[in-house]
Amino acid sequence: MTPPGYSDADAAALYDHLNPWGPSDDFYLSYVMAAPAVLDVGCGTGMLLHRAREGGHTGRLCGVDPDGAALARARRRADIEWVQGTAAEMAWDREFDLAVMAGNVFQVFVTDEDLRASLAATRAALVDGGRLVFGTRNPGRRAWEGWNPSNPIDVVDHAGRELRISYRVESVSGEVVGFTETTATRAGAPLRVDRASLRFLDAEGVDRFLGAAGFQVEQRYGDWSRGPFTDTSDNLVTVARVA
Ligand SMILES: C[S@@+](CC[C@H](N)C(=O)[O-])C[C@H]1O[C@@H](n2cnc3c(N)ncnc32)[C@H](O)[C@@H]1O
């Protein structure tokens, strides 16, 4: 029998299922609630801004993402602005007090050119003294080494389907890791295969790109409880300010 496949809408719903609210979201939310106008770059399905509005944020909330299926879920709340597009395409001029890149969005900018353009557009969207808050996985922890089919994740999705999600690294080229995410039945029949690449920049690399884009690092943490960053931290968490 031909597998029924797994639609983009299903995949967006599955994303929320696989990524429930966690400590990183609490971290980002604390900044969002304190800022009058917030830009969520790579907002995905919009969970962070939804929660901000539900939590009483009365200012401007705006999410940007190129993924139409994810944005369709985000648009379930109409009291937030949702814009389809990439970070590099953003054209705001000093309108936001805070930009966030939650869920390691920073890592999707794999080329120098895209990273520079994405940071420049984010910088331009921020008011003088505005902040960019984001995390990226610490390359020293080599998280991708655990992304292999011998570590599948079994889930029951939003529609009650029993699924097996697995990852396979296809390439490691310098700082860029290419991999697949396969959504399959529990018996192993693939329903959908998504390909992605992520860049693992170290702290010096992050700071170099931030500095060139006109940001100054204000705080550096190694976890979502604001612990210090060390070589063994899983995350490289940065609070940067427009210089
Ligand atoms: C891992 S998800 C994180 C989503 C959300 N921020 C969260 O915390 O759940 C990465 C997101 O980055 C988006 N993305 C990919 N390329 C992008 C780009 N060039 N500019 C902005 N967002 C992008 C994807 O569509 C996806 O929604």
Q: Whose Cα sits closest to atom 17 in ligand 1? A: 86
Helix (H) or strand (E) holding 178: strand 176-185
2 band by pLDDT with thresholds 50, 70 and 90 = very low
Whether residue 1 has pLDDT greater than 90: no
Mean pLDDT of 88-101: 98
pLDDT in tens, 34-69: 999 999 999 999 999 999 999 999 999 999 999 999
Task: Tell me, in angstroms, the distance from the centre of ligand 1 to residue 149's CA.
Answer: 23
Dihedrals φ, ψ of 133, to 5°?
Answer: -120, 125
Q: Assign 210 to helix, strand or coil.
A: helix
Return the ligand 1 atom nearest residue 65 CA: 22
* Ligand 1 contacts CB of residue 191 (under 6 A): no
CA distances from 203 to 178, 218, 225, 236, 240 (A): 21, 13, 19, 7, 13
pTM for this prediction: 0.97
Task: Tell me, in angstroms, the distance from the centre of ligand 1 to residue 216's CA.
Answer: 23
Task: Tell me, in angstroms, the distance from the centre of ligand 1 to residue 2's CA.
Answer: 31
Task: Tell me, in angstroms, the distance from the centre of ligand 1 to residue 150's CA.
Answer: 26
pLDDT in tens, 218-228: 999 999 999 99
Q: Residue 236: CB partners within 8 Å, gap ≥ 6?
A: 135, 136, 137, 138, 202, 203, 206, 220, 222, 229
* Ligand 1 contacts CB of residue 29 (under 6 A): no
Task: Tell me, in angstroms, the distance from the centre of ligand 1 to residue 1's CA.
Answer: 34
Share the mean pLDDT of the chain.
Answer: 96
* Ligand 1 contacts CB of residue 66 (under 6 A): yes
Question: Do 196 and 217 touch, CB atoms closer than 8 A?
Answer: no
Return the ligand 1 atom nearest residue 66 CA: 25
